[in-house]
Amino acid sequence: MNRQEIRTRIEETGIIPAIRISSAEGARFAAEAVAAAGIPIVELTMTVPGALDVIADLARNSPRVMVGAGTVLDLETARACVDAGAMFLTSPGLDLALVEFALKEGVVVFPGALTPTEILTAWRAGSDFVKVFPCAEVGGANYIRAVKAPFPQVPLIAAGGVNQKTAGEFILAGASALGIGADLIPPEAIRLRQADWICELAHRFSHIVKSSRAQRMGH
């Protein structure tokens, strides 16, 4: 997939499931479960043990899953992730060197940013999206609405504190996509290998995104 196709898939799906768990096997299981439920994207955070091997495994053996790397904190890790097959890179904070690297490599990048200055800086540097993180702690959907007003052209991903109660509000506020962790992939569901549980949550979140987008278009 090229950069444009990856960006389009993220935009269309509107959900980026973040896998932050303590085993490589569990991470594989979670990725397959969300993909089977119709969300063909996973962000594998670098905090997962053996994360690079899981990325390489998914990139090679699960063609329906678009796998990216999360919590990428330095260029060395970014290079290893891209070499392993990561199609997008994301970080909790704004690192312009990471954005520059991703653009050079032709992979999608969405750094974390919080203030209007950071959001503008990330966008000007060429980021595909800007991940507003941690969102809930600074006002949630109201904060997205507030920063979207001066930056209508910047596609924002809301991350941090997105759950079934708040997901719709974030979309209505103008978020292009949502970064969702344990509320979509509960560690307990992975421990018990309950794909149905993850599948049910994936369907719920997908429905929330779809109906909220329709509502937003209707306004």
What CATH number corresponds to the domain at position 192? 3.20.20.70
Note the pLDDT tens digit of each residue in 62-95: 888 999 999 999 999 999 999 999 999 999 999 9
Decide if 127 is inside a domain: yes
- Could you give the number of structural domains in the chain? 1
For residue 147, give the H/E element and its range: helix 140-148
CA pair distance 197, 121, nearest whole angstrom:
39
In terms of residue numbers, what domain contains 64?
3-214
Look at residue 219 and tell me if it is in a domain: no
Candidate list 32, 131, 148, 169, residue with the active-site label? 131
**Would you call 43 a catalytic residue per the annotation?**
yes
Residue at 17 is within a domain: yes
Locus of tokens 């307990």? 188
Residue 63 in domain = yes
pLDDT computed for residue 219 by the predictor: 64
Residue 21 has pLDDT above 70, yes or no: yes
Distance CA 193, CA 182 (A): 15
DSSP category for residue 137: G
Q: Of the listed 43, 76, 100, 118, which one is catalytic?
A: 43
Count the residues in the chain: 219
Give percent of the chain with pLDDT exceeding 70.
Answer: 100
Residue 185 lies in a domain: yes
Other CB atoms within 10 A of residue 22 CB? 12
- Res 1: pLDDT: 87
pLDDT for residue 105 is more than 90: yes
Q: Is residue 26 part of a domain?
A: yes
User: Taking a C-beta distance cutoff of 8 angstroms, is the pair 18, 181 a contact?
Assistant: yes
| Residue-wise pLDDT tens digits, 152-180 | 999 999 999 999 999 999 999 999 999 99
- Asked whether residue 132 is assigned to any structural domain, the reply reads yes
210 is catalytic: no
Q: Which stretches does DSSP call E strand in 6-91? A: 15-19, 41-45, 66-70, 88-91
pTM, 2 dp: 0.96
For the CA atoms of 63, 78, 43, 14, the dihedral, rounded to the nearest 10 degrees, stands at -90
